[in-house]
Amino acid sequence: MFQANRNLKNKPIKPATKLTPRKSNQELIDTICSAIADIYKKKASTLSYEELYRSTYNLDKVYVKAERKLSIYDSSLNIFNTSILIGPDFNLLSTISPLISQSILYERQGLSIDRPALKNIISMTMEIYNLTSRNSFSLFESNIKPLILSTSHDYYKKQANKYTHELGIVYFAKQVEKFKKIELDRCHDYLHNSLIQEIESVINIELVDSFANSSLDKSEAEAEKILDMIITLFRFLKDKDIFEVFIRQHLLKRLLSGRIVSFDVESSFISKLKNECGSLFTLKLEGLLKDYQLSQDLEAEIANSEGLKTSLSQLSVSIFNPKFYPIHSSPTISSDEHSTAEITNFPIQIENLKNSFNEFYGKKFNGRKLSWQYNMGSCDVVAKFKDKTIELNVSTVIIAILLLFNDSSDNLKLSYEEIKQRIQIPDIDLIRNLQSVACAKYKILNKTPKSAGIFPGDIFEFNNDFTCPTRKLKIPLIAASSSSKINSQNQANQKANNKVGLGPESGLDEASLAKLEKSRVELIDAAIVRIMKSRKKFVHSLLVSETISQLQSRFTPSPTMIKHRIDELIDKGYIERNSEDRNTYNYIS
């Protein structure tokens, strides 16, 4: 029998809680705006911060994504940028940018500065992006970095004038290394890592190049003495093939700019390198000099011909074989109309000269094709300003830009998009050349709005009020700087580091690294096959040491690199492992 439990009691059922209706997105926005206003009025005692947090979180995760709007944080940064930093009421960025560059200059001069404050300012500008630009550069990239690089060029140019004539080559090299360590510490402490390679490039350009050029300006006897000291230092280099790439780049720049002082000195230095490393090492250097001589002969032929002199007197052309060309160039102006290279739409004045030379060259060398490297050219142009007439020496792209302002009224204004449409070159080249004449030291063009960067929508007009103390003026191209370029170079260096033993300190671009990688692979393979062909049978450790010994005049390969190439040669059937000893290889005839 079951007995009832007398302790059980019936509990009343509570009525359902009345649900609060969910607020709409607009109501949430109004609530948050009202709360922010109360906070500014110091009436926040009645606010529920938990409710405000939930409302804000809901808007940021649901409403913003559904409506494809900026997040609340990014919107706040954008408002701060447009209202405080670049807005007309405050425009603090115009004060911050020169303040940062001036503070860096003070520190270079030995004065004490507030590093933590500068670090905070730079960190802020790294997070804020110009949302009106399709390039999405941060304020640091577009406004502050170009100014830092420009002032760095000016500073180290003065240091070059100071140290080039005072120090010998050994002490000068130590001073350059000291400068690099100081700048590396500065970048790590309060600047940005993206500046490390670019500042190092500035030091190389202004100090090392200046020292090299001043050495060439000396008498041949003094130059020979300096070259002997350079060869002494050269013997201690581990990766001599990297040195050859840079030497070839600088030689080409000297040849193109006409800064070669003595052809005999250049030939002498190449001969010294040839004695150290063999004829294969200097093959491309000798090829550049030979091509330069042939170009000089062509110019002499044009000058001595009455018909050619009339049509080509304003043009000087240097022709180099692409296999000797050390620089990865931008898209070219090709003389072949069916070329896959991008055709650049230059003004008719330049096109006529180009076509005349193509006709002359095609008749003289039947079957050869020219690819015009516009990014390596320069031009002299007479510019008439309000106060005086000045002869400008500018890049080929800059002259194409300036000629756009030559055919219409004095108040002609062109947008970035209009200039790009009429010249048709890649953005990275157009931006660099526009910065050189609109944002750098010599402002041949006025830009609206005023900033250190170039963005779509910017308006340009000829600066009729420009003046300078001299009748002739050379306008240099600013150093190329973009985060994408640095990232690409870092990735390329890392890739090469895995394959050919190069680290990020090599300073080579992706194209140069690819060529160097291919060259090193071929040299290692050739050395291994050559050794095995003579030995027929060889132990792994001895093969590695013998390969290093044969290649150390060019570079020093790591045992890992050699092991990888041995495995590749086994797969290709050049050598095989010994059946009795896996550490021994046999040559396959």
495-515 burial string, b = 16+ CB within 10 Å, else e? Answer: ebeebbbbebebbbebebbbe
- Whether residue 273 sits in one domain with residue 222: yes
Over 70: is that where the pLDDT of 492 sits? no
Where residue 508 falls among pLDDT bands split at 50, 70, 90?
low
Over 60: is that where the pLDDT of 333 sits? no
Which pair of tokens denotes residue 246? 């840079």
- Whether residue 509 sits in one domain with residue 440: no
DSSP 8-state symbol, 17: P
- Whether residue 568 sits in one domain with residue 543: yes
Where residue 409 falls among pLDDT bands split at 50, 70, 90?
low
Identify the pLDDT of residue 114.
93
Identify the pLDDT of residue 528.
94
- Whether residue 500 sits in one domain with residue 461: no
Please tell me the pTM assigned to this model: 0.64
pLDDT digits (tens, 9 = 90+) for 551-588: 988 888 989 999 999 999 999 999 999 988 889 999 99
Please indicate whether residue 62 or residue 111 has the higher confidence score (pLDDT): 111
Task: Say how far apart CA 487 and CA 480 lie, in whole Å.
Answer: 13
pLDDT digits (tens, 9 = 90+) for 230-263: 888 888 888 888 888 888 888 888 888 777 767 8
**Averaging pLDDT over each range in 5-9, 54-58, 481-485, which range is the top one?**
54-58
171-193 burial string, b = 16+ CB within 10 Å, else e? Answer: ebeebbeebbeebbebbeebbbe
- Whether residue 79 sits in one domain with residue 47: no
Cα torsion at 541, 544, 546, 548 (round to 10°)? Answer: -140
Whether residue 312 contacts residue 360, with contact meaning beta carbons closer than 8 Å, is answered with yes
460 within domain boundaries: yes
**How many domains does the chain contain in total?**
5
Identify the pLDDT of residue 343.
43
Which pair of tokens denotes residue 179? 């400068």
| pLDDT cut 90: percent of the chain above it | 19
Cα torsion at 380, 384, 385, 390 (round to 10°)? Answer: 40
Whether residue 540 contacts residue 480, with contact meaning beta carbons closer than 8 Å, is answered with no
Which pair of tokens denotes residue 481? 């700087």
> Facing residues of 381 across strands?
392
- Gyration radius of the chain's alpha carbons: 32
Task: Say how far apart CA 512 and CA 247 lie, in whole Å.
Answer: 13
Task: Say how far apart CA 441 and CA 58 lie, in whole Å.
Answer: 50
Domain ends where: 154, 173, 190?
Answer: 190
Q: 496-501 contacts: CB < 8 A, separation 24 or more?
A: 499/561, 500/561, 501/555, 501/557, 501/558, 501/561
Which pair of tokens denotes residue 359? 């006709």
Which pair of tokens denotes residue 200? 């190092």
DSSP 8-state symbol, 82: I
360 within domain boundaries: no
Averaged pLDDT score across all residues of the chain:
81
353 within domain boundaries: no
Instruction: State yes or no: cis peptide before 15, omega within 30 of 0.
Output: no
196 within domain boundaries: no
529 within domain boundaries: yes
Instruction: State yes or no: cis peptide before 449, omega within 30 of 0.
Output: yes
pLDDT digits (tens, 9 = 90+) for 418-466: 888 888 888 888 888 898 888 888 889 988 887 777 888 889 999 888 8
Identify the pLDDT of residue 497.
46
Q: Where are the alpha helices (DSSP H) in 165-262?
A: 169-189, 196-203, 209-216, 220-234, 240-257
Who's near 419: CB < 8 A, 6+ residues apart? 401, 404, 430, 434, 460
- Whether residue 286 sits in one domain with residue 273: yes
Q: 507-514 contacts: CB < 8 A, separation 24 or more?
A: 507/197, 507/200, 507/201, 507/246, 508/242, 508/245, 509/328, 510/328, 511/328, 512/245, 512/326, 512/328
Whether residue 233 contacts residue 215, with contact meaning beta carbons closer than 8 Å, is answered with no
- Whether residue 225 sits in one domain with residue 184: no
Please indicate whether residue 482 or residue 415 has the higher confidence score (pLDDT): 415
- Whether residue 580 sits in one domain with residue 489: yes
* Domain extent for 403: 375-481
Of residues 334, 317, 315, the one with CA closest to residue 256? 317
Please indicate whether residue 545 or residue 507 has the higher confidence score (pLDDT): 545
**Averaging pLDDT over each range in 167-176, 211-220, 281-290, which range is the top one?**
281-290
Please indicate whether residue 265 or residue 271 has the higher confidence score (pLDDT): 271
Over 90: is that where the pLDDT of 544 sits? yes
Identify the pLDDT of residue 491.
46
Identify the pLDDT of residue 17.
53
State which H helix or E strand residue 472 sits in.
strand 472-474
Identify the pLDDT of residue 460.
92
Q: How confident is the model over 275-292, as a mean pLDDT?
A: 90
Pairing type for strands 584-587 and 575-577 reads antiparallel
Please indicate whether residue 508 or residue 269 has the higher confidence score (pLDDT): 269
DSSP 8-state symbol, 207: I
Q: How confident is the model over 275-284, as a mean pLDDT?
A: 89
Whether residue 537 contacts residue 543, with contact meaning beta carbons closer than 8 Å, is answered with no
Task: Say how far apart CA 44 and CA 52 lie, in whole Å.
Answer: 12
439 within domain boundaries: yes
Instruction: Describe the strand order of the beta sheet including 575-577 as a list of residue ranges.
Output: 537-539, 584-587, 575-577
- Whether residue 181 sits in one domain with residue 105: yes
Identify the pLDDT of residue 47.
84
**Averaging pLDDT over each range in 12-16, 184-188, 217-221, which range is the top one?**
184-188
Over 80: is that where the pLDDT of 518 sits? yes
Asked which of 135-139, 401-405, 533-537 is least confident by mean pLDDT, the reply is 135-139
164 within domain boundaries: yes
Cα torsion at 216, 218, 224, 226 (round to 10°)? Answer: -80
Task: Say how far apart CA 161 and CA 519 lie, in whole Å.
Answer: 38
CATH assignment at residue 445: 3.30.230.130
Specify the 3-state DSSP secondary structure of 478: coil
**Averaging pLDDT over each range in 7-11, 358-362, 499-503, which range is the top one?**
358-362
Task: Say how far apart CA 245 and CA 144 lie, in whole Å.
Answer: 31
Q: How confident is the model over 130-159, as a mean pLDDT?
A: 79
| pLDDT cut 70: percent of the chain above it | 83
Task: Say how far apart CA 535 and CA 76 lie, in whole Å.
Answer: 72
- Whether residue 428 sits in one domain with residue 389: yes
CATH assignment at residue 108: 1.20.1310.10
Asked which of 30-39, 177-186, 191-200, 449-458 is least confident by mean pLDDT, the reply is 449-458
Asked which of 8-12, 260-264, 432-436, 494-498 is least confident by mean pLDDT, the reply is 494-498
Q: What angle do CA 26, 30, 32 make, to 5 degrees?
A: 115
Identify the pLDDT of residue 483.
38
207 residue type, one letter = L
Cα torsion at 552, 557, 559, 560 (round to 10°)? Answer: 180
Identify the pLDDT of residue 567.
92
- Whether residue 299 sits in one domain with residue 317: yes
Whether residue 189 contacts residue 115, with contact meaning beta carbons closer than 8 Å, is answered with yes
Length of the chain: 589
Identify the pLDDT of residue 410.
64
- Whether residue 246 sits in one domain with residue 184: no
Q: Is 171 left (phi over 0), alpha (psi -120 to 50) or beta?
A: alpha
Please indicate whether residue 9 or residue 34 has the higher confidence score (pLDDT): 34
Task: Say how far apart CA 454 and CA 447 lie, in whole Å.
Answer: 9
Q: How confident is the model over 199-224, as a mean pLDDT?
A: 76
CATH assignment at residue 564: 1.10.10.10
Task: Say how far apart CA 584 and CA 480 lie, in whole Å.
Answer: 51
DSSP 8-state symbol, 141: I
Domain ends where: 429, 453, 481?
Answer: 481
3 within domain boundaries: no
Over 50: is that where the pLDDT of 498 sits? no
Of residues 121, 102, 124, the one with CA closest to residue 113? 102
